[in-house]
Structure 1
Amino acid sequence: MSTQSTPSTTQTGIRPLAGKTALVTGGSRGIGAAIVRRLTADGAQVAFTYSSAKAQADAVAEATGALAVQANSSDAEAVRAAVSRTVEQFGALDILVNNAGTIRRAPAAEHPLEWFDEVLEVDLTSAFVLSQVLGRRMLEAGHGRIVFTASLLSFQGGINVPGYAAAKSGVAGLVRALSNEWAGRGVTVNGIAPGYIATGNTQALQDDPDRSRAILERIPAGRWGTPEDVAGAAVFLASDAARYVSGAILPVDGGWLGR
């Protein structure tokens, strides 16, 4: 399996997010941490939330200079408090990346209802609450960028993850609904649909030789994605380069959906 890294635009002297402020949910590890690193490297002041991984959050904060804010994404009041603290720190917020998420795996016939409810609360409901709170501020300012982490399962059904598939399908609908209302008022709303990315959430699949082989055989790029692959798409959608892009779900999947 080949891997590659994408250099930050700062290497060419371009900082597309200079002067911008951003809040990233679930920024202590995996895709979220990569997005925090990339946004800060490209000039943004960044705050990020984390639930319980304090040591990892502290490491990301130290490496990037970002502000780490503890907030359980299933707690609407904690999410609102995180927004208040970020605005208090930065004075304004230009970019929201709704990245926090969880997944529970069990066949649909045996899938516990509490797992289904938990995934919907974290992956969909809390993202709407945060978008609503910050969206009001962005609408008043007349500009803003909201980016959701969707999924391939925003397009497909998946196996053994009915709650996750429902939540991520809901995220795609929410992106379009908010874009319809807000794009004409200066606030773009888009989503990124990561493919098979090598993170903790996909570790079980990576560790299953048969499943991993089947996945790789379908990906035209011939490799698992990296969190950095997703971070580059986040910078694009958060920047002025995407000022006329709204209501879109951008696959970052090595060609999976085109196969």
Structure 2
Amino acid sequence: MMDVHSLFRLDGRVALVTGSSQGLGKMLSRGLASAGARVVLNGRDPKKLERAVEEFLSEGYDACGYAFDITKRHEIDTAVERIESEIGPIDILVNNAGIQRRAPLHEVTDEIWDEVLATNLTGAFLVTRKVARGMIQRQRGKVIFICSLMSELGRPTTGPYAAAKGGVRMLMGSMCVEWAQYNIQVNGIGPGYFITEMTKSLAEDPSFNDWLINRTPARRWGDPKELVGALLLLASDAGNFINGQIIYVDGGILAAL
């Protein structure tokens, strides 16, 4: 008889989650840890990262933290080498780190454009390139991108973010095409609107909140915990033949006009 539960277990695997000292990244890391993974938290602020690690350890999870900036190649290379030397080979990479800078496209400065693309697209590529080299040698790996509804759709004032997330969708597909032969699965999760530090101001805006509730068939915001199921599917052996896909967890937004 098939042991269905064991398909979703991550015991003995090392998972690196970028941008995981707060928000969705922290919740996703907790989900991986609850399935048995040894989680490597990441952020740019060492003190915030240390607090997150202490929180995980107090909850009984196996966690550690490495502070590095995903937009800086030398920091990425040094950190990944340290992680794999001190903790073990990275089996699961979750590219979660991201930023949003809102402005009409005709008012977007070069600095805003460069910052958003460098973090949300180029940074994700740089981290994945470094980690994937080891995965290719080991003939095993899971790479998961946190995409967005804006990998498919646009909204006013989100042009740089949408361009970056659309680029992530195509980058993810290209990685699948090249690396599936090495038993590496590259997929994405596309969250709808979830209440986090990044979206708190939107949730507190009555006009936006009303628009979202009416636009979403489920008639509510998402709870970050509702992303964990899709994450465990893609990070575990249960998803070994899923490749190049984005699973949208959006309450039905993309299904509705």
| TM-score where L is the length of structure 2 | 0.92
Q: Any unmatched runs of 5+ in structure 2?
A: 58-62
Give 3-state SS (helix, strand or coil) of 1:200's partner: coil
Q: Determine if the alignment matches structure 1 residue 91 to structure 2 residue 84.
A: no
Instruction: Look up the equivalent residue of 1:197 and give its one-letter code.
Output: F
Aligned ranges for residues 1-259 of structure 1 at < 5 Å? 16-52=9-45, 54-55=47-48, 57-65=49-57, 66-259=63-256
Instruction: Look up the equivalent residue of 1:186 and give its one-letter code.
Output: N
Deviation of 1:53 after TM superposition, in Å, equals: 6.5
Instruction: Look up the equivalent residue of 1:43 and give its one-letter code.
Output: G
Instruction: Look up the equivalent residue of 1:161 and give its one-letter code.
Output: T
Give, in whole Å, the separation in 1 of the partners of 2:178 and 2:138. Answer: 15
State the identity as a percent: 39
Give, in whole Å, the separation in 2 of the partners of 1:226 and 1:54. Answer: 26
Deviation of 1:58 after TM superposition, in Å, equals: 2.3
Deviation of 1:14 after TM superposition, in Å, equals: 8.2
Query: Is contact 1:47-1:69 (8 Å) kept?
Result: yes
Of 82-91 and 144-153, more deviation after overlay is shown by 82-91
Q: Structure 1 residues 13, 190: CA separation in 2 closer, same or farther (over 3 Å shift)? A: closer
Query: Is contact 1:79-1:126 (8 Å) kept?
Result: no
Q: Structure 1 residues 179, 109: CA separation in 2 closer, same or farther (over 3 Å shift)? A: same
Query: Is contact 2:8-2:236 (8 Å) kept?
Result: no
Deviation of 1:64 after TM superposition, in Å, equals: 2.1
Give, in whole Å, the separation in 2 of the partners of 1:111 and 1:215. Answer: 25
| TM-score where L is the length of structure 1 | 0.91
Instruction: Look up the equivalent residue of 1:42 and give its one-letter code.
Output: A
Give, in whole Å, the separation in 2 of the partners of 1:115 and 1:231. Answer: 31
Deviation of 1:144 after TM superposition, in Å, equals: 0.3
Give, in whole Å, the separation in 2 of the partners of 1:215 and 1:25. Answer: 28
Question: What whole-Å deviation, never above 9, does each CA across 1:69-107 have from its counterpart, x for those lacking one?
Answer: 111122121122221121122221110000000110011
Q: Any unmatched runs of 5+ in structure 1?
A: 1-11
Deviation of 1:204 after TM superposition, in Å, equals: 2.3
> RMSD between aligned alpha carbons?
1.5
Size of the aligned set, in residue pairs, is 247
Instruction: Look up the equivalent residue of 1:64 and give its one-letter code.
Output: F
